[in-house]
Amino acid sequence: MPSKNGAFVAVWSRDNPDTGEAEFALEPEDFEAIRQGYGCASCLADFNGVWLKKCPVCGEDRAQSELVVSQWWTSRSAV
Ligand SMILES: [Zn+2]
């Protein structure tokens, strides 16, 4: 999915009513880009193909790949 305004677009998102945390899902290719370090796992900034250790948008250090969980791009529907 093409990024919008320099950020990846979640195909699905919600606020978890139990934990209050934001949950979202990404397209598989967007997920892969973030997992490989070409996007921010925190604010979803798209680095446009540039590998950055630290996000220029929110300042977040790149998430460890093990923190990028596969359920982000499962296209489940909100319950
Ligand atoms: Zn960020």
Q: Where are the domains of the chain?
A: 12-73
**How many Å lie between the centroid of ligand 1 and the Cα of residue 66?**
17
Q: What is the mean pLDDT of the chain?
A: 78
CB 11 within 8 A of CB 31: no
Which of 68, 52, 48 lies closest to 60, judged by CA? 52
**How many Å lie between the centroid of ligand 1 and the Cα of residue 18?**
25
Phi first, then psi: give them for residue 11, nearest 5 degrees.
-80, -10
pLDDT in tens, 19-30: 888 777 888 888
pTM beyond 0.85: no
Q: What pLDDT sits at residue 74? A: 56
Q: What pLDDT sits at residue 79? A: 43
What is the rounded CA–CA span in Å between residue 39 and residue 2?
Answer: 13
